[in-house]
Amino acid sequence: MDLILASQSPRRRALLEHFGFKFRVEVLSVEEVQSGPPLATARANAVAKAQPVSLRYPQALVLGADTIVVLDGLILGKPRDAEDARRMLRALSGRAHEVTTVVALLRNGQEERVVSETTKVQFRQLTEAEITGYVATGEPLDKAGAYGIQGLGGLLVQSIKGCYYNVVGLPVPRLVEELRPYGIEVFSSR
């Protein structure tokens, strides 16, 4: 079965390529939900990303995903600007937060499976100079929660409990299990 990634995220694409998945990318414009309970918001966005692609390619399995950073029950999205990034990083400093990715698998426009994975991330106590220096790199400006664990933002993290790849943007070990019933295997005779 063909696997289609309905996401513009270079991190998701890189993870799938790194682990040897055979897939192609198709992205159609959708309006993302910006408010509501965090898990419901992520679920709605993951399904919304996959839905139009699934209708266009009804025989393929379409993967949509949405990753959210949650602190004190509120979603920390991508920062509006450098000052917003600094505000988010100050809020995360010395504290734990959750990163949840919802993965939606659709075929013929219908939901086949929708699953979520949550990882707890503990930031170390950050100095104002570290926050300013990190924001100056530009890395946090296009990332939910204003950091990327796979880049320089990994230096801000003290520990994680759960799946590292989930924090990057796709819980790949879980995805392997979810794709198996569709005959999509990474460790098969190539």
| pTM, full prediction | 0.93
- Alpha-carbon span 77 to 73, nearest angstrom: 13
pLDDT the model gives residue 164: 98
Residue 160: strand, helix, or coil: strand
Asked whether the predicted pLDDT for residue 190 surpasses 60, the reply is: no
Cα–Cα distance measured from residue 45 to residue 52, given in angstroms and rounded to the nearest whole number = 12
Beta-strand pair 3-5/61-71: parallel
Vertex 169 angle, CA 165 and 173, to 5°: 40
Which of 60-69, 116-125, 180-189 shows the lowest mean pLDDT across its residues? 180-189
Residue whose structure tokens are 């004190």: 72
* pLDDT over 90 percentage in the chain: 90
Are β-strands 74-75 and 110-123 bridged in parallel, bridged antiparallel, or unpaired?
unpaired
CA-closest candidate to residue 100, choices 45, 140, 51, 52: 45
Per-residue pLDDT tens digits for 10-38: 999 999 999 999 999 999 888 888 788 99
Is 142 a known active-site residue?
A: no
**Which residue segments constitute the domains of the chain, with CATH numbers given?**
3-182 (3.90.950.10)
- Taking the C-alpha atoms of residue 25 and residue 62, their distance in angstroms, rounded to an integer, is 9
Pairing of strands 24-25, 3-5: parallel
The CA–CA distances, whole Å, from 42 to 68, 116, 136 equal: 7, 9, 29
pLDDT band at 189 (very low <50, low <70, confident <90, very high): low
Location of structure tokens 């570290």: 130
* Rounded-to-integer distance, Cα 86 and Cα 140, Å: 9
Catalytic residue, from 2, 66, 72, 81: name it.
66
